[in-house]
Structure 1
Amino acid sequence: PGLCHRLWPQLRHADGVRTMRATLQEAWVAEIAATLRRFRQQAVDAVLVDVGTNPGGDDSGDTLARLFTDQPVRSATLQMSASGTGVDYLQEQFERLDDALTRHHPDARARPMLTQQRTAFAAALRAAQSPACDLSWVWQTQQDWSAQRCRRLVAAGTSGGPLADPAVDRLDDFLIAHRLDWAQDVRAHRGAWHGPVYLLIDGKTSSSAEMFAARLQDNGIARVVGTRSGGYGCGFMSAESPAELPNSHLRVRIPNCVRLRADGSDEVAGIVPDLAVGARAGESARARAQRVLDVIDLDLARY
């Protein structure tokens, strides 16, 4: 709230909602980074980030992981459903890459990256629009999903953009770099902290907050504390109106994407904590918080 108050003179004169969001995003990231740098100056032992009961939001669950380490961060493998909503996302990324290639004059380093990714998304679009394979078995029998040839999923880059790769950091043109890797938003603040990190999650941690937890855990940036997350998984990578069933008029929303962990598992399985600290009957929030801190204090002894 304090940050929003300080930004209000800029926000009130912003040219549209998009500009307001960009201003808030940039200032929010800078505020977090400044806090982390201050912790380093103060010789803080460890940072504890609490995303318990956090329902998620946008792709910052991937990008913000870069603030907590000075090492390269690997984004999740992203797959989209071979459906109308999946096609919408793939088409959007193809058009952004094509625009960067044809209108923004990329240099000799950027052009091969953009060309490769445009080709990959064109192939993904064709695959997503091809005749659907038979998935009727899912209503009839339980089978190992990962072993099936027919999954109606197509490759869609990563959770951090088409090409979330350290090579993109060396591109001078921010617009072109951002079309490939959305973590360019935090380029100036990477490695604001590079000491011990702990992340608190619970059963109501979901979506982008789960993505944040998975990126920190899979990249060895943080030790995750608490209970297994909610298992919302990727959710939606493009706007979608719920489908309405013709007879019952029930409205149904089905996730259109999958994010895969470093071990190949789906984030929808939930994030399992490294340090389990469950709730106890009749325990107050203050008492549980103290138990969390005690567990972290013991774990810090390994550093």
Structure 2
Amino acid sequence: MARKGTPTCGLVADLPPDALSGLGSRPLVLGTTAWRDEEGLYTGPLVVLTNRRTASAAEQAAALLKDGAGARLLGERTLGSGCGYTNGGLPVVLKHSKLRVNMPDCIRYRQDGTNEQRGLQPDIPVAWGALEGPEVRARQWMEALRASLEAP
């Protein structure tokens, strides 16, 4: 267990907080883990941004935050990749084309009984066209987020 204010991973996880304070290489040695944190509990609204490319671990994190912490999903339906290929997948030969494909070999059921592999439907949908750039998408996300926070 790490002491408060000390790095929890990296090359030198057990050093006291000020052990490398005089070295210019301190950030390289400690990486991004050397911050002073304060314990607390966030009690405000939690929103997770998603889009059609949200998949794999990001999709699982979004589902866990929604199911376990009451987060709301804002954006597009996620990809629906499920938990993927834990053992390299299941080899399947398609009947008509004889094409050999590897299928996912696991599923992940959510709290409401749905299969995460079907994708996560956002609570606050934000749809955009294929030609809209990141600035337009970010603006639409922010407008939808503001509106959802103002709603009762």
TM-score tier, shorter chain, comes to: 0.5 to 0.7
- Tell me, in whole angstroms, the C-alpha distance in 1 between the residues paired with 2:54 and 2:34: 23
Other structure's SS at 1:218 match:
helix
Partner residue in 2 for 1:217:
66
Which of 101, 121, 134 does residue 252 from structure 1 map onto? 101
Q: How does 1:93-112 map to 2 (within 5 A)?
A: none
Q: TM-score, normalised by structure 2?
A: 0.63
Of 179, 193, 196, which aligns to 2:42?
193
| From 84, 88, 95, the counterpart of 1:240 | 88
Q: Distance in 2 between matches of 1:274 and 1:211?
A: 16
- Residues 1:265 and 2:114 are matched in the alignment: yes
Letter paired with 1:298:
A
The alignment partner of 2:59 has SS state of helix
What amino acid is the match of 2:135?
Answer: R
CA distance in 2, matches of 1:289, 1:249: 44
2:110 is equivalent to residue 296 of structure 1: no
Output the TM-score relative to the length of structure 1: 0.34
Secondary structure, in 3 states, of the residue corresponding to 2:103? coil
| Distance across 1 between alignment mates of 2:151 and 2:36 | 26
- Pairwise CA distance, 1:240: 2.7
Letter in 2 for 1:240: G
Shift in CA distance, 251/194, structure 1 to aligned 2, threshold 3 Å? farther
Answering whether residue 140 of structure 2 is matched by residue 286 of structure 1, we say no
Contact 2:108 2:116 in 1 (8 A): yes
- 1:24-64: per-residue Cα shift (whole Å, max 9, x none)? xxx87x67994xx6xxxxxxxxxxxxxxxxxxxxxxxxxxx
**In proportion to residue count, which structure has more helix?**
1
CA RMSD of aligned residues (A): 3.6
